[in-house]
Amino acid sequence: LPPPCLMLDSRDGVDGMMCRTSLSPDRCQMNADTGADYLRPWKLGKAIEGTGIGLVEQSEFEGLAPGDIVRSFTWPWQLRSTLPGASLNKIDPAIVGGHVSHFLGAVGLSGLTALLGIRVKGHIRQNANQTVLISGAAGSCGHLAGQIARLEGAATVVGICGSEEKCRVLVEELGFDGAINYKKKNVEAELQSCCPRGIDVYFDNVGGDISNSVIRQMNEGGHIVLCGQISQYNKDVPYPPPLLNDIEQVLHQRSITRERFLVLHYQERFAESVAQLAAWLADGKLKLISQMNMVLTLCMKWQAYRLHATCSNK
């Protein structure tokens, strides 16, 4: 689409120039049905939207001035836009060493989802000898969730991902105790080996057969953090997708909770959570996977969708 004719609303309009944008979690908005009732499909003929960071050029909104760096979760994919001031949050790159792109990842929705998902729904306790399993563990949220689970007190952290290289990174660079390549291994057998005491907390990013295998090996009183179901988004099923009968029975018999988590429901905790994530980054306690598909300029974004579809981090 051509750049818009910028017209500031006298009440709260802000003219902004986009500097960075993020690919996830807006992929499923390309579908006629997003598969998630909290996301709307993009409209034909309209600029598509996603999380973006930009520079304020003009502002009629109190609290924002030219030169401010801001983030929006609904920034159109175009160089310049006029946005409602209330949709923008002023950010301070200094808290993450000047790395503006971290506000799209480690201290953006991915980091906030990982931290608040673990804290609100994970029920991790210090010195409780708990085992935490992360699916989609090499993704923008999963690789943070595993590290945060450890920082919050988990005794054992295991990840499931899709390549031997990702497994190596999780264990050797990010401190996971184990990692399973679901494309080459028998997941149920590997879970028994990596999680001999069973699984207490499952941070579920994928759903489907992988999640069924995990749930079968969960302990009494376990907790499932239902963060995403990416394996199911292109299927004609409701969200969250229904479970198989035998899996439902496991949940009931073992008193396992399966709680849906939507990070945007906890915006009152964003400021304290960003501060915590930034502190961990500064102290070297939280490490990042370099992911081209996490932070992109507009000219790269369409090409990156191909990488996203194949779960590639390169």
pLDDT in tens, 240-257: 778 999 999 999 999 999
Domains of the chain, each with CATH number or no CATH: 13-104+279-309 (3.90.180.10), 109-263 (3.40.50.720)
Give me the sign of the Cα torsion angle 225, 231, 233, 235: negative
Query: Are 84 and 12 spatial neighbours (Cβ–Cβ below 8 Å)?
Result: yes
> CB–CB of 211/188 below 8 Å?
no
pLDDT for 81-139, tens place per residue? 999 999 999 999 999 999 999 999 999 999 999 999 999 999 999 999 999 999 999 99
- pLDDT reading at 298 higher than 50: no
User: Cα dist. 278→35, 38, 151, 305 in Å?
Assistant: 32, 28, 14, 28
What is residue 28's predicted lDDT score, i.e. its pLDDT?
66
My answer on whether omega of the bond before 84 falls inside 30° of 0, hence cis, is no
CA–CA separation, 35 and 233 (whole Å): 5
14 vs 35, residue with greater confidence: 14
The pLDDT of residue 35 is 56
Per-residue pLDDT of 168-191, as tens digits, reads 999 999 999 999 999 988 999 999
Tokens describing residue 269: 């905790």
Give residue 167's pLDDT.
Answer: 97
Residue 65 or residue 236, greater confidence: 65
Mean pLDDT value of segment 53-61: 95
Tell me the one-letter amino acid at 84. P
Sign of the Cα torsion 94, 96, 100, 104 reads negative
Work out the mean pLDDT of the chain and round it to a whole number: 87
Q: How far apart are CA 34 and CA 50, in angstroms?
A: 14
Cβ distance 157 to 195 under 8 Å?
Answer: no
- The answer on pLDDT for 48 being more than 80 is yes
* Prediction pTM value: 0.85
pLDDT tens digits for range 263-275: 989 999 999 999 9
The answer to whether 112 and 270 have CB atoms below 8 angstroms apart is yes
Q: CA-CA distance, 292 to 300, in Å (whole number)?
A: 9
Burial of 259 from C-beta contacts in 10 A (0-12 / 13-18 / 19+): middle
